Amino acid sequence: MKSELDIQSGLFLSYLKNIKFSSVKTVAAYGHDLSKFVLFLESKHIYKVGNIHESHIEEFLAGITPGVSSANFSRKLYAIKGLLAYLERKGLSTVKTTIKAPRNHRRNISYLTEEEVRRLLETVKNSHLPYFCPRDTAIITLLLYSGIRVSELTNLKVGDFDNIPGANSYIKIKRKGGDESRLPVNPQITEHIKKYLSKREVTLDQPMFLSRKGSQIKQNTVYCLVRNYLIKAGIKKQKMGPHTLRHTFGTMLRAKGADLVVIQELLGHKKLETTSIYMHVEQRDLENAVTSHTY
């Protein structure tokens, strides 16, 4: 017979899947982590959620620390905190933990604030070239609100854009290593891609974004394009290129409270360790970051 701990853990995972609409990967990752936590508690003869204490959480996490990365440690911590918050809402437990995610792998990243995003998009919009304005707006918007890499953007074909009237639009991209992903894109991206493609004759196998000469746009061209618009907008960052826009997207998601596994999936990171850079953005920076992201 299942213990109360096991039952409530399963209900929490169902809540993530059916109410929060968390990704399959998020639910699977949390399920794996919580199963280990439940087994640990049951080894201590703790079968009811009301008997969990912070000391149990500390002991569990202390026991796994030598064998996991800081990113995996943080994911386990967030899974436990999520379960505790769920139990508190149901009136089944009041236990909390003050344990914080480790910061030993922190590195500085360059990203834009909400005001800087507005200025950048206004600068592109006011570009004086009638053909390149729609193209460049589509490029900048796609980088900002999907977080794809510049190589993924330049390799896009017209047929990779799946625009379904009255439903979500998607883009199919080839990730590093050859994997394919089908990503949802928000209405801003859809609008600007449709506007750009309407300016030319297209076939499905054509490159999505073309150079001045009508060939597939090069990565270096996109890099220079982004850098020049950032300069024109009066934006100065330690790094001035497409990856700054990718980091902006990751920071948006972090500021909105997205799970680390969700951010990993959307950005196409192979390792959770890579995604963990977004856990270490200072709170005051998060408060100033772009938070108006919509799908």
Active site residues: 149, 176, 243, 246, 269, 278
Cα distance between residue 153 and residue 156, in whole Å? 5
282 torsion bin: left (phi>0), alpha (psi -120 to 50), beta (else): beta
Q: How far apart are the first and last CA of the chain?
A: 42
* Positive or negative torsion for Cα 96, 98, 103, 108: positive
Instruction: Answer yes or no: are the C-beta atoms of 27 and 18 closer than 8 Å.
Output: no
Within the chain, residue ranges assigned H as helices are 4-18, 24-43, 54-64, 70-89, 114-125, 132-146, 150-154, 187-197, 219-232, 242-255, 260-267, 272-275, 283-288
In 3D space, the residue among 200, 199, 222 whose CA is nearest the CA of residue 211 turns out to be: 222
Burial class (CB in 10 A: 0-12, 13-18, 19+), 213: exposed
Per-residue CA distances from 111 to 119, 140, 153, 244 (Å): 14, 14, 19, 5
Cα distance between residue 39 and residue 254, in whole Å? 30
